[in-house]
């Protein structure tokens, strides 16, 4: 047999063996999940067994699939009830502006939770008593993870904006019970429907689910063929387009503001339909923009970083919630932004002031810049990807609880207020079953010009700190400048989350990459094997192989060679 034919045959046998093993694992797990057990037994491995036992029916036996469907249905009923409670408080009137703002955030987030639970429930009701395979399993786990994030955001906003008032107190118990219920639903889902090798806890070794190839992108400046096609044929050369408009404040385009163009986009486009393209020529657009949940698969293309600029100045000090301080906010699935700058000019003294917030599943940003100080980029929830972007900030300037990968991006720490330290990341994972976390791969950590030129007072810069109990951040194959403190990471408050977080570094370089003096926290790791690091790549962390190719944006699926 020829050598090439032998290798091909051997590879086929290997693939068939892996498929057989995967099917065997799925069958064994399916049999386990299909075995009738008591409610008490079903609750044993959830995040809160005692609370779980108050949720499930108290007598008889059922399998994990039945219990999982029951808990999701109960969560949906609870979400509707909670939204009704929020609406009643808003209808009372006489509330402070801060209270109204916090409740309006809760109203929006509760509505999203109803959508997510409805979608998750529909999938589970048609799945039968069998495990789900990716991307379907990841889709449902992503939705159930986001529901917890939305509830936590609501709670955080009420805590800050409504301290000491009756509405916060009236919502406290329903808020806690909702969070516990949603956590139980996520626990039962992962036990019943998710294959063991696909569990959300990527802190344990497992082989990558997908290959480590490179994505071919429409906007890849190194791909001469695609650049020529872009120039000659436009966006339609490589991605499907259902419509295209241009924004021009002078009136020469289709719309004079970005907000008007977004409003004109078709509602609820499907992923296979194509993108609605909004072109934003060079200029400064002073407006706060929201891409709502029904404006799906919108693609916004500017003329470049520093050329097409969307800018605002909302901040917490001026009465906005952190969530709603964003200059640009995205909820619509499949949003893509290319060659844009998103800016918040509130300044460091105004504390939390977001340039961009994304709670849009499968959202992508390529060659964009995000500029602010504290809380610059709010990667709020669901799955996101950033490639070739610049992010400027001071305190917690990349924060949130999405499953997100930053690839080939620049993290520029700016000059903060005197007495402040810089923290690049503040990841907000609150539940061990959430498939969320922040990966920074092939990125550069450096000082912005104002910090580099500063000699008036010393500024300590850290890679991140744990905003929530199960905070998860991985920095790998990146260039870390000397501005990063040798300890690497900063505590949030005493020993909070130091044993439950998962922070890791892998194969970084530069004067700030030495890990010999890093923190000695139980949750901090220096990864040595490629299998561990591969868990946090585009192909695994956000299952990018399934959805990024259609965006036209270049990406590396696995580890960078």
Catalytic, out of 105, 156, 361, 396: 396
- C-beta separation of 491 from 515 below 8 A: no
Distance in angstroms (rounded) separating the CA atoms of residues 247 and 369: 19
Asked if 105 and 324 touch (Cβ cutoff 8 Å), the reply is yes
Place of tokens 């626990």: 187
* Nearest Cα to Cα of residue 372 among 330, 320, 412: 412
Nearest of 248, 331, 247, 341 to residue 294 by alpha carbon: 331
Q: Which two tokens stand for residue 477?
A: 């194959």
Q: Is 532 considered catalytic here? A: no
Cβ neighbours for 262, distance < 8 A, ≥ 6 positions apart: 278, 289, 290, 291, 292, 295, 298
Q: 3-state SS of 404-415?
A: EEEECCEEEECC
φ, ψ dihedrals at 501, nearest 5°: -70, 165
Q: CB neighbours (10 Å) of residue 15?
A: 10
Among the listed residues 209, 206, 226, the one whose alpha carbon sits nearest the alpha carbon of residue 217? 226
Residues 553, 224 contacting (CB under 8 angstroms):
no
CA nearest to 527, candidates 477, 488, 483, 491: 477
Residue 384 has which token pair? Answer: 């996101």
The whole-angstrom separation of Cα 125 and Cα 144 is 15
- Burial category of 453 from C-beta neighbours within 10 Å (exposed 0-12, middle 13-18, buried 19 and up): exposed
Burial class (CB in 10 A: 0-12, 13-18, 19+), 58: exposed
Tokens of 4: 């090439």
Shortest CA distance to 308 belongs to which of 344, 338, 283, 345? Answer: 283
Q: How far apart are CA 106 and CA 100, in angstroms?
A: 10
Which tokens sit at 417?
């207020």
Q: How far apart are CA 20 and CA 18, in angstroms?
A: 5
The answer for residues whose C-beta is within 8 angstroms of residue 146's C-beta and 6 or more apart is: 112, 116, 359, 361, 381, 382
Question: How would you class 187 by CB atoms within 10 Å of its CB: exposed for 0-12, middle for 13-18, buried for 19 or more?
Answer: buried
CB contact at 8 A, 425 and 398: yes
Residues marked active site are found at 396
């Amino acid at each position: 047999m020829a050598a090439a034919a032998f290798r091909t045959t051997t590879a086929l046998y290997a693939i068939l063996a892996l498929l057989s093993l995967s099917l065997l694992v799925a069958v064994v797990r399916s049999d386990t999940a299909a075995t009738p057990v008591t409610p008490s037994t079903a609750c044993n491995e959830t995040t809160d067994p005692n609370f779980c036992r108050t949720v499930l029916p108290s007598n008889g036996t059922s399998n994990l699939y039945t219990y999982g469907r029951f808990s999701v249905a109960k969560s949906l009923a609870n979400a509707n009830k909670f939204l009704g409670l929020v609406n009643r408080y808003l209808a009372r009137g006489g509330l402070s502006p801060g209270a109204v703002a916090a409740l309006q955030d809760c109203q929006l987030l509760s509505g999203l939770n109803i959508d997510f639970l409805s979608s998750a429930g529909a999938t589970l009701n048609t799945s039968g008593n069998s495990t789900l395979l990716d991307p379907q399993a990841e889709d449902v786990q992503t939705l159930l993870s986001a529901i917890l994030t939305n509830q936590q955001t609501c709670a955080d906003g009420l805590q800050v904006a409504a301290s000491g008032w009756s509405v916060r107190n009236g919502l406290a118990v329903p808020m806690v019970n909702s969070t516990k219920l949603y956590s139980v639903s996520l626990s039962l889902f992962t036990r019943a429907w998710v294959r063991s090798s696909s569990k959300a806890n990527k802190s344990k070794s497992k082989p990558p689910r997908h290959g480590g190839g490179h994505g071919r992108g429409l906007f890849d400046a190194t791909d001469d063929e695609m650049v020529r096609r872009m120039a000659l044929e436009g966006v339609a050369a490589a991605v499907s387009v259902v419509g295209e408009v241009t924004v021009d404040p002078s009136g020469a385009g289709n719309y004079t503001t970005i907000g008007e163009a977004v409003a004109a986009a078709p509602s609820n486009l499907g992923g296979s339909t194509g993108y609605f393209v909004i072109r934003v020529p060079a200029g400064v657009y002073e407006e706060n923009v929201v891409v709502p949940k029904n404006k799906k698969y919108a693609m916004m293309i500017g003329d470049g970083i520093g050329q097409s600029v969307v800018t605002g100045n909302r901040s917490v000090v001026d009465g906005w919630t952190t969530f709603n301080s964003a200059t640009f906010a995205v909820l619509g699935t499949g949003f893509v932004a290319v060659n844009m700058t998103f800016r918040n000019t509130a300044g460091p003294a105004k504390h939390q002031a977001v340039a961009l917030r994304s709670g849009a599943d499968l959202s992508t940003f390529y060659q964009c810049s995000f500029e602010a100080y504290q809380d610059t980029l709010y990667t709020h929830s669901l799955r996101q990807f950033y490639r070739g972007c610049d992010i400027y900030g001071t305190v917690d300037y990349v924060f949130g609880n999405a499953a997100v990968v930053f690839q080939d991006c620049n993290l520029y720490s700016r000059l903060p207020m005197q007495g402040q330290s810089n923290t690049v990341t503040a990841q907000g994972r609150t539940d061990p079953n959430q498939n969320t976390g922040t990966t920074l791969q092939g990125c550069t950590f450096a000082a912005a010009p104002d910090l580099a030129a500063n000699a008036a007072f010393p500024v300590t810069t850290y890679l991140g700190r744990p905003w929530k109990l199960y905070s998860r951040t991985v920095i790998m194959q990146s260039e870390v400048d000397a501005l990063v403190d040798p300890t690497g990471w900063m505590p949030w408050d005493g020993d909070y989350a130091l044993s439950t977080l998962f922070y890791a570094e892998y194969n970084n370089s530069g004067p700030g990459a030495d890990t010999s003096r890093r923190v000695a926290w139980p949750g901090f790791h220096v990864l040595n094997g490629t299998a561990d690091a591969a868990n946090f790549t585009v192909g695994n962390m956000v299952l990018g192989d399934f959805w990024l190719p259609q965006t036209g944006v270049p990406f590396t699926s696995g580890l960078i060679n």
